[in-house]
Chain A
Amino acid sequence: MKPNTISLEHGAGGEVMQALIGEIILKNFRNKSAGSVGLECLDDGSTISLANFNPSSELVLTTDSHVITPAFFPDTNIGRLAVAGTINDLTVMGAKPLALTCAVIVPEGFSLQDFEEIIKTMDETAAEVGVPIITGDTKTVEKTALDSIILNTAGLGITDNPIRDSGLRPGDKILVTGTIGDHGISLMAHREGFDFDTDLVSDSAPLWKLIEPILKLRTPEGEPVITAMKDPTRGGLANALNEMAAKSGTGILIEEDLIPFKRAVSAACEMLGLDPLEVANEGKAIIGVKSGFEEEVLSILRQHPYGRDAAVIGEVTAENKGEVILRNRFGGMRYVDMPSGDPIPRVC
């Protein structure tokens, strides 16, 4: 009879581990090669062919470890979070994702069915942007050492024009690719057992296909239209905008009424005493766009399902260097500060 949970042997390098790799990992990763040596070779490493790229391009390398409790949440799992997170880190650098790695640390006793589900989700997420997962590693640890699965995904991308989070210039418009706070609030509601009577789910999504077309846009002078990008993950919009303002040496003024929020997110934040600007997103990008090109960028973004709610939310200012300011519909203004820690609900 087949075991239905992970045991320490699954990471011991022997036959049991080979079976796990063969039956679950190799079987479910459909796209696993980026060169002459791919994952299916089970060699000590894999290769990536650069034959079709401009020799003056630059490679972009990023890595991210993912821990999330619970590993399954509405309506996806840690596998999507890990793959989309790494693809998005490459994407906001302006880099086409070439290949991903997948390292797993899993405690004994973890359900094999859940494990396979996570691997399948990783494959589906990577398939959305056509990036192969070409190498990996599996370790199992004792139950007492870890209570859930840890995924690490590294990603290699390539670009002719790296986009920085420090590239904002006064006058640029600030865009977001969709509604803010969905991931953080859906997760909090799921963890705490709140039912907000809506189908609010995590926005976790790989953004390469959404962003790729706007990277090609140039001004009549031949300059890139996109000046800066960042993904507002932990710490939300507040954290990402502050970093962008500080690193660019500019101010940012955003208009409250222009920021797209789902009704359930604003209501839940109001009820729990949270600031939706500080809540995590896993499928959104903040984009700096040269003034005058924002409508063109918006119309391209809105053609993709992940960009349907894209909006211009503000602009970059020369004054208030390093500060983010929010203006509401009757002119009231306040600073949007860096969040100090995890959002904590308040008393009443």
Chain B
Amino acid sequence: MSPPEKRVLMKMEKGNSPSMSAIPELEKKLLERIRNSKVSLRIMHVCGTHERTIAKYGLRSVLPKSIDVISGPGCPVCVTPEEDINIAIALAKSRATVVTFGDMMRVPGSAESLLDARSEGADVRMVYSIDDAVSLAEKKPELEVVFFGIGFETTVPANAAALLRNTPENFSLLASQKRTPPAIELLAGDTNVDAFIAPGHVATIIGTKPFEPLAKKGFPVVVSGFEARDILLGINLLQMQVEEGCSRVDNGYPRAVKPEGNPIALRIMDEVFETSDSEWRGIGRIENSGLVLRKEFEEKDAAKKYEDLYASFLDDIRKKAERKDKKRCICAAILTGKAKPHQCPNFGKECTPKVPAGPCMVSQEGMCYNWFKYSREGGSKLA
């Protein structure tokens, strides 16, 4: 937890996005344009926060039937592989202090979750950022602090920046970090969608260029922000591309996203991490989609540093997993847009936010969580 003397000053009264929030009735106008367009689209977004925006504002309940918005693998918690969670739990059981984001704590690994491990006495703590984890290590030199750093290009620069600031010796990183473009490209070849809404936060860092290969393959792409009006604008921009008979990457979030992204963030990310193949829960291995520590930062790699310490605990977890009755979720089909949450046999029965069987039900960014929580059958009942 952050020390009380550390004050994070956030100016609230100035508000966000003054340019758009000042215009009333904008959503209604955008909806009208979407409804008036003759273009039908099956659109995939690949961002957990987009799913949350869509669910929170009930967008599926107001969009015409000709527009189908589905959720791709955009929730970082959901795509974190079981084995990485197993390692985090094994580390916690072997006396390390494992700190991570709140929604990571409840995600089941192959046998249990970090929260389960905590209730059995392991030292697992919640933080808001890697900086909180570093200051915990500084304050408590007697602890071996491991930050379980999961996420996409949005959270990786913060991890890189922290490591570049010379973290204390008792601090290390268990990195489970992902790059978005390789996954989207893979999906483009293996899914039933017409167009993509690209993730706005990720694009703030990497820019719009990495999404151009998708457009070249013929998919209209738009980078969108996170208000209801941003998503509606994005959908309408995609319709307009189809009407014009072309496919390109439109920037529908120019107040945050520049074509070249954030060069400083990209540079420090590259300084600390290098690309590698990476496992995505529900999807499998995707080439060049991971970001692992470079050799110079090897001593900060918790998976290597404590390997001897946690090996036996990891074995126990794996054995426990073998004995466990596996609930067959269809996460893979859901994450690739081939099925919707309510088509999963476990959805709403053996898998609810209270007792999640699969990762998509745990995080507030997970498609199943949002479908269960906000729309049951995807809004149809409320339409």
Residues of A within 8 A of B (CB): 191-198, 263-264, 267-268, 270-273, 325-335, 337, 340-341, 344-348
Contacts and interface: CB of A to CB of B under 8 A. Distances in A.
A270 B49 CA distance: 11
B380 to A, nearest CB: 11
B12 A346 contact: no
B6, B354, B374: residue with the most chain A Cβ atoms closer than 10 Å: B374
B297 interface: no
A331 to B, nearest CB: 5
Contacts of B105: 344
A236 to B, nearest CB: 14
Interface string B1-33: 111111111111101100000000101100100
Contacts of B25: 330
A333 B102 contact: no
Interface in B102-133: 102-106, 126, 128
Contact of B1 (A192, A326, A335): A192
A337 B374 contact: yes
A330 B62 contact: yes
Contacts of A195: 7-10
Interface of B: 1-13, 15-16, 25, 27-28, 31, 48-49, 52, 55-59, 61-62, 76-77, 101-106, 126, 128, 150-151, 154-155, 201, 228, 352-354, 363-365, 372-376, 379, 382
22 contacts: A191-B1, A192-B1, A195-B8, A195-B9, A196-B12, A197-B12, A263-B15, A330-B27, A330-B62, A332-B58, A334-B56, A334-B58, A335-B382, A337-B373, A344-B105, A344-B106, A345-B101, A346-B77, A346-B363, A346-B365, A347-B77, A348-B154
A289 B155 CA distance: 47
Given A192-B2, A193-B5, A344-B105, A330 B28 contact: yes
Contacts of B57: 328, 332, 334
Contacts of B16: 267, 270
B13 A263 contact: yes
Nearest to B49: A348
Nearest to A265: B12
Contacts of B5: 193
B62 A346 contact: no
Nearest 8 A-B pairs (CB), nearest first? A332-B58, A344-B102, A330-B27, A334-B58, A334-B374, A340-B353, A333-B382, A346-B103
A331 B155 contact: no
A196 B11 CA distance: 7
A198 B12 contact: yes
Contact of B62 (A193, A264, A331): A331
Given A332-B57, A334-B58, 13 more contacts: A194-B8, A195-B9, A197-B12, A197-B13, A198-B12, A330-B27, A330-B62, A334-B61, A334-B379, A346-B364, A347-B363, A348-B76, A348-B201
